Structure 1
Amino acid sequence: MKYLFTTVLLLLAVSQTMNAQVADTLDLGEVVITASKTQTSERETTKPVTTITQAEIRKAPGLSVSELLNRQTGIMINGAGSSPGKDKSVYLRGAATQYTLILIDGFPVTDPSSEGGAFDLRLLSLENVERIEIVKGSMSTLYGSDAIAGVINVITKKPEDGLLNANAKMAIGSYQTNELSLGVNGSGKVASYNINFSRSFTKGISEAEGEDFLKDGYERYVGSAELNIDLTEGLTLTPFLNYSNYTGDYDAGAFADAENTYEADLVNTGMRFRYQTDQFELKGAGALTDTERKFTDDFGVFNPKATLWNNDVYGVYSFSDQVRFLAGFNYQDLSFELDGIDEGSSIISPYATLYLGTGSGLNTELGLRLNKHSEYGSNWSFNLSPVYNLTEEFKVLTSLSSGFKAPTLNELFGPFGSNPDLEPQTSLTLDAGLEYRSSTSGLSAGVNYFIRSVEQLISYDSSVGYVNVNEQNDSGLEITGSYTWPDTRVNLYYNYLDGAITQEGEEFDNLIRRPDHSFGWAIQQNIGADLMVDLNGKFVGEREDLYFNMSTFQNETVELESYVMLNISMNYELPEFNTSVFASLNNLLDASYQEVYGFNTPGVNFKAGIRLDI
């Protein structure tokens, strides 16, 4: 705990240097698209939303997607602080990774061959990301399967004005890390384009903890291209392509070195379209996500391949400023190949939502979705989210929403314990919260409480394989606050989490690797017009993990100690040269900690580089 006291004292010292003058006005016009599939201001949203803006991304140029997400309230990326190439598990509001849906530009990129269908965050690069929206609470009514805990929408950059704009970034860091990215974009009268390429490489550290173990690094190539064509007034077609290639090393397990390799190829391509008039908007996409993974270890080669075809069309009609109706149709086709198995499934889903405003502060969103699955049949999901704006600055949020998680193809047809008779996992989530955002000062704050129940959990039984059994009940509290001066911004958050699984009538605490208590902070200070310093940190409380003991061949419960992470980054702008230089130091306290029992984490490490915009 001495590190915690040191951090608190450091925060107090920094706070004494802050400029106490309050800004006259703040920008309240941030647009959030994910929450309702149409442009919606933060004041109108009916679910808790966290938006990571482009300004915030530029202030943290040395971070990965998982590291940036790990600094947000209500979300924990297990593995974000471990070996750079270690797998990343997304715990949104403490839910298991399979219950958070990852989107790119509003459309899912699920990997049907992975454990629980979860997407691999290591395949994403921040270089072409405009912003990231995190929506908490069940979103199955709008997005279907997997969105039980919420969605994370990664929104790519859009072309700038002018026929030709270019940007480049180079960085080096600890463990022989080097990064390079290049991009060009431009806009004309009837078309615009955006092309990006990046390469990342690191020798890394040993993934498993032990003496004289081999280092486990990775190399990643990411490319993207997008073309926007304005066919007629209001109608835009957007063909796109996102590609990732990842090659990395991994160890045999806790305290076990190995020369295993992991390869992954991701192709995400298709066509989006948008047609808009004063009152009506029609949007949709046909998108293919093709993922091939290859694990090579002492047992041989494991090479699953999976494809997701996602076709989604929806229209929004605004009867007035207070009444909007959205109706859509979604078709997903999923396929899976492994060891001679070639199977698939499909989901057909019509859905609709109605947004009703009263003009007196009470707004309500109602949603309903029918899901017809090719294997298990049909199920419904719903959303009821009344919101009351007490004043221009205070908002009360409540929602009751159901969600579902369809069985994965591996669970239905895979080589180990598959069961084609599985039912979907279903959930019910209750949210309640209060948000404050001043229009005349830099103060904003919020408190949100949730209760989530997931039934028909799919579990693996060594004697019968995958079965629907058990029930998961979680609850949590999130408290956030921020204050902005002209040259300083302070952000704070606290998260409490509690959860248990019911097995054969008995309850067990099973939120492994997820702490009951955590809190974080960030202090951003502008020094002059061009230098920005960001001091941020996170306290992660004690939590339990499971360790498979190779001597006894049994799982053992172990305790992971609490720790404090403190980081600092600096960004210096050279506007006359359209250039900025940046540097970051992570784990300033050289904390010794584990995110996963028996696996390594780095000590003090750095990254520095230069960015050029033409």
Structure 2
Amino acid sequence: MSLNKNNIYIYFLFFLGISVYAQEQQKDSTSIEKLKEVVVVGESNVMSVSKKLFTVGTIKRRDIENVAGNNLADILFNSLNITINPDASDGRSTISLFGLDGQYVKILVDGIPVVSDNGVGNNIDITQINIDDVERVEIVEGSMGVLYGDNAVAGVINVITKRGLREEGWQIQLALQEETVGNEFELYDEGRHIQNFRVTNQVNDKLSYSFGASRNDFAGFYNGYKGQNYVNIQNETVVNDSLRGTEWNPKEQLTVSANVDLNLGKHNIFYKLQYFDESLDIYNRIVNGRFVNGQLNPTAIDQNYTTDRWVSNLNISGPFKNETKYNVSFSYQTQERNYQEYVYNILEQRKQSIETDAISQSSDVWYSKGFVNNIVPKSNFFNLQLGYEFTNQKGFDAIATGDYSSDVVENTITNYELFGVTEFKPTKKLSLNPGARFTHSTQFDNNLIWSLSSTYDFTEKLKLKAVVGSAFRAPNFEELFFYFVDANHNVRGNENLQPEDGVSVFVNLKDNYRVWNEGYLNPNFNFFYIDLKDAITSVTTEDEDGRLLFTQDNIDYSKRLGFSLDNSFIYKNWNIGLGATYLGIKNAINEELNNGSDYLWRLNFQSSLAYKISKWDTTISSQLKYTGRTQGVFTDSNGELFVGETDAFTWLNASVRTDISSNISATLGARNLLDVVSINTGTSAGAHTASTTTSRLIGNGRSYFLKLTYNLNF
């Protein structure tokens, strides 16, 4: 789906003019007070047990606005133990937590896992999660398999949608954001261009609804390349200098959503419908210089991937009786990714012919989760939560063409899961919480996930939390069933993969105390250990015909050990954050060959600073993050696996947000001030391999942005 860029700006300015006129007309008769959005305080329905047993960090709406965040990637970069992993070729950005990639982190929206290109809830492209209608983002660290199922090994990220207004009435929100990509910017053709629109109506104290749209146009990062319409012609001959195209491929995203929030007595019904469309263009660096009717006709074989996703989520919650509460969610999500390969006529700047037009990926997901907590509310010693979870994923992840196959094979994975968490309180300060989840899968053997959590309150503010449990991860849809085989490709999933399993330990100690009269210090100390058996990784081997085959397999183990200290200090108008993590990673392809290997240790450092100038309604903020070297499993030029390293890098952002009036705000800032573009990866070699060094793109240079937001309340 593509929108006319000129019309978007005209519509925005036209609507802004109408809104200003409406506001001025109302000012003549009645003084308008700016309506504030409802901020849900305390524990959300979907995370209440999580907050009691695990360490939960929150990125609030104000934090999102201070950095002009449009998608999840914009705001997660500064979280202490999270690393953003962008891929310039396909435009995807995934995350790692405690050195474990996106396969081990579950991403939820309102407690419901998100469908992705290769699974449900894991390895999500976080640039596809728009946060225009988000109230806050909760980050839960720790192995949470009992509460959230397999693949929640390192933690869970839960995106919470806004719900209604504080008072009856309407709110219209408009936002326009322009951003450079490195030093590249043109109003329509280069840089990043974002428009947001949202309307909310609080009908009464029981009913509210909202709808809106967001467009994010990333024109790509050229970085010395010359774009789609470049061709080098010398003496009526095409010279292939490999300068065509872009360093980062351009993509355009459109998100349209609507939700309804209804309170019936003490019961709440929340429904959200969302449509997402993404178009990703890949420009071939090789140009074909052919003569047609005596004229030079340079063409290139380009590609386009279009993703369409529908999400329909329903959540119902409330009390059974007194303090016993229920929470039930239902979801249907469908996604299709269409692949198109076409001949592009460079001089005429048009598609000349389409070579391939096919669906390359399809998913239909039915999901439901329900639980009842505080089942024994009158007991001071014992309590219980029981629940179920159901997931049915049907579809395929393949481009099956060429000589090897002309059909795609549809597969289905269905999980039936029951879980329970108990609470024993021997004393007022000590709580013990054993839990278990039984999983029946159509793909794997039955599995039991277990955990034992404990909390101890030394004082009202000094608290200790600890959890030990299963580190269980099942292979995702792509790892099992991916199939891309033609004359030039031989990439396949492995249906014989075994789930990973192991043990994880997380310990958290936090405090909160006053410093001087107006200062507060919140130190937070964590210890973590994760031991994964049969870790899944990419391998290179041969197929039945002796061709080079890229697939997945289980390796012996992967371990994480570390400590982190995170501090926040608030004094008057100052808000300062300072944290560090010392993380050790050890991988073994064959345990017998790695008995003497040590952990590769790295230091991660994070700091943030915010100062509010009250009389100007202005907040100045900055975020600095240092990510140390990382160990991983890589493939050398011969296709052999080896354990190598990725270099360290530092990221720095800064911004100023100010309220120009009661209705208009502006945010001006810069991302990646240190101008990081690429880092070296795979810099060390194994015992039987030569040293291999490659460069990996992680940024698109120093970028500047300006965001204008307008709120009309009536």
Q: TM-score normalised by the shorter chain: which range applies?
A: 0.7 to 0.9
Please say which structure displays the higher CA radius of gyration. 2
1:270 deviates by: 3.1
Q: Which moved more, 1:294-303 or 1:309-318?
A: 294-303
Partner of 1:221: 254
Q: 2:305 aligned with 1:262, yes or no?
A: yes
- 2:63 partner amino acid: E
- 2:250 partner amino acid: G
Q: Deviations over 1:523-574 (max 9, x none)?
A: 1011233010002211222346787777x67778876543332221000013
Partner of 1:12: none
Q: 2:562 aligned with 1:476, yes or no?
A: yes
For normalisation by structure 2, the TM-score amounts to: 0.73
Counterpart pick for 1:437 among 502, 505, 512: 512
SS in 1 for 2:63: helix
Contact 1:488 1:523 in 2 (8 A): yes
1:248 deviates by: 2.1
User: In 1, Cα distance between the equivalents of 2:535 and 2:50?
Assistant: 36
SS in 2 for 1:366: strand
Counterpart pick for 1:451 among 529, 545, 554: 529
Q: Deviations over 1:368-403 (max 9, x none)?
A: 110011122211111211111111221112110113
1:166 deviates by: 1.4
User: In 2, Cα distance between the equivalents of 1:376 and 1:516?
Assistant: 36
Q: 2:691 aligned with 1:613, yes or no?
A: no
Partner of 2:395: 336
User: In 1, Cα distance between the equivalents of 2:632 and 2:472?
Assistant: 27
Q: Deviations over 1:255-275 (max 9, x none)?
A: xx9954332222211322112
Matches within 5 A, 1:88-237: 88-111=93-116, 113=118, 118-160=123-165, 161-174=167-180, 175=185, 176-189=191-204, 190-206=206-222, 212=243, 214-215=245-246, 216-230=249-263, 232-237=264-269
Q: 2:92 aligned with 1:87, yes or no?
A: yes
Partner of 1:15: none
User: In 2, Cα distance between the equivalents of 1:558 and 1:457?
Assistant: 16
Matches within 5 A, 1:152-551: 152-160=157-165, 161-174=167-180, 175=185, 176-189=191-204, 190-206=206-222, 212=243, 214-215=245-246, 216-230=249-263, 232-250=264-282, 259-276=302-319, 277-296=321-340, 303-317=360-374, 319-320=377-378, 324-337=383-396, 338=398, 339=400, 340-358=408-426, 360-415=428-483, 417-438=492-513, 441-461=519-539, 462-463=541-542, 466-505=552-591, 506-507=593-594, 516-529=602-615, 530-543=617-630
User: In 1, Cα distance between the equivalents of 2:316 and 2:471?
Assistant: 27
In structure 2, runs of 5+ residues without a counterpart are: 1-39, 186-190, 227-241, 286-299, 343-354, 401-407, 484-490, 544-550, 682-694
1:481 deviates by: 0.7
Counterpart pick for 1:55 among 58, 62, 69: 62
In structure 1, runs of 5+ residues without a counterpart are: 1-28
- 2:557 partner amino acid: E
Q: CA RMSD in A?
A: 3.3
Partner of 1:67: 74
Partner of 2:48: 39
**Which fold has the larger relative contact order, with Cα–Cα distance below 8 Å and residues 6 or more apart in sequence?**
1
Contact 2:587 2:633 in 1 (8 A): no
- 2:477 partner amino acid: L
1:595 deviates by: 7.8
For normalisation by structure 1, the TM-score amounts to: 0.85
Q: Which moved more, 1:402-411 or 1:194-203?
A: 402-411
User: In 2, Cα distance between the equivalents of 1:439 and 1:30?
Assistant: 22
When residues 359 and 117 of structure 1 are mapped into structure 2, their CA distance, relative to the original with a 3 A threshold, is closer
- 1:307 partner amino acid: D
Partner of 2:699: 601
Contact 1:209 1:599 in 2 (8 A): no
User: In 1, Cα distance between the equivalents of 2:677 and 2:273?
Assistant: 41
User: In 2, Cα distance between the equivalents of 1:356 and 1:199?
Assistant: 49
User: In 2, Cα distance between the equivalents of 1:247 and 1:68?
Assistant: 23
Aligned pair count reads: 573
Q: Deviations over 1:183-215 (max 9, x none)?
A: 111223442112121001121204899984523
1:335 deviates by: 1.0
Q: Which moved more, 1:487-496 or 1:202-211?
A: 202-211
